[in-house]
Chains A and B, each alone.
Chain A
């Protein structure tokens, strides 16, 4: 299992609060039995709509092509629990997300996939986005050990729940192995719960 301590790369800023998972990957792309190929459809409808009115979505801007870090605002990933959403973002090329706040299910999905997701203040999120917009070649560095995000010579403090941070640093972000290892304890818990035997 791989440890994740620091990531860096060019970044893509995506402005807006409450960007829900229906927007990240519209439901029609959920008609699938694998996550393969979802990357190209990330933000499909938002992208098309902007194109139609002569604007460009950040994911379509050539200067952000190849970005590894996604910079967002508040309540990102709210709505549907579809893991297809972080999967589409990851398959597009993103390896870490920085933003003000995230829906819990989205956050949990990212962790389970090994996609670090860090919180920064409202003001810092906007500054980070502005810095990336000013210089799309700037490298954004995300450090899970120091809990910092740095870009263009500026450093911002970031947050991540302690347990989750430990999971990334120790490589235990994929919890399955440890959960499976607890099988005996799980059987013991099941025995204690009266409904497991339908109260017989």
Chain B
């Protein structure tokens, strides 16, 4: 029997950090991931990780205020305090583990400026900080000897009387279904990027954990808050790091003017992401772009700085659209990048479902509120990954495994999956349905939103669900049947897309990433609260939670 005190689903930064913490607390720990840990999407974080180090004359309260303001005052201030206070220690821990952070002239950790922050407190490894951190965390995972189920796909949660007591999982290599018993489960499954098309997110980012938790009764919070990153590449829409602007790059319109002057005269290109993306979209809509794009101009930074600090994004530009940022401005546009919302947790990662935790992008603590600051996501994963690992380990100490009939559970799951494989070979393919869903969301739930558009997507969703119910699977085999997995992932994405749409429709103000043309102002009187979605008898049900305010009174946001 496979059984663990703490079972972590997802092996990105949050998941591996949680696993290492749980193991250190003496728990029988395992981590399970549909890809090998180093393939996880934490790789894609380019620019850096924020921390206010006191020996640099910085102060965690300044970092916390910038984060609260960046969140458009929707972030929970108690949670933000926890994150910003822990940041220094978490950063130094990562350095001690071996991360090769860039240094300053004295050999101490170097910083770069990042959006929405009044001080340069972003620590970085060139322009591949996420990859550098992820690989070092994987080294620590190897060192710890933690059991790692690599390329195992979690198909469902096992629940007895509401208590989660394990998961069913598909070993991708063999097609075998297993039930794994667990006292606690930590979701660290990342975001839901592929629900939108295009998106900067990797193809594996399909909202699995959010959907599994939602279906088990967990609350999804702030799901309307979808971040559009200001600089995604023309065409495929892959990410071009905010580090470029942190190092001093300009955003230009078709006439070569720095249009951010009109929108954020103080912070210019380094205003918070929601502000910059809205500015770009406004300019694009007014015809001041070229082919639906504005320009990121790095030419004045010089070749040597670009080669030292931005070499990988330069290469992406050359590889994908043949533009070298050393010599030419790069055409960019706002693109779906991150979800601030997720599985509602407390500051220890605990959800409302007994035995279930969440950390990282799939969770909503809520430290990002309406808009996440660049370089706060890596921090979020490490701080709350560690906290949930610690807490889950302690919580599993004094409880026994909940018994369930393993053979029965496995048999039922096998039958369910066989049912999918046995569908007739007609109807739309997974790819076609996903594309339609992604485009509908990108049309109606992007930088600017309105009632009519979002209602259209809500209506579309019914159609997508109908088509999904009969989606065929070409591959009938057992070994590495990715075709079957894509169909399961699409189910997860549809649940997530529904939660995003109903939340956005419900919130009738503009705040952070949600900018409604029909409700253009922030309405603190009625909407200074979190929108929460839970699974009801007939569909998603909306409720609200208050925003935690400790020391920063909501005020109008200017950059």
A and B co-occur in one complex: no
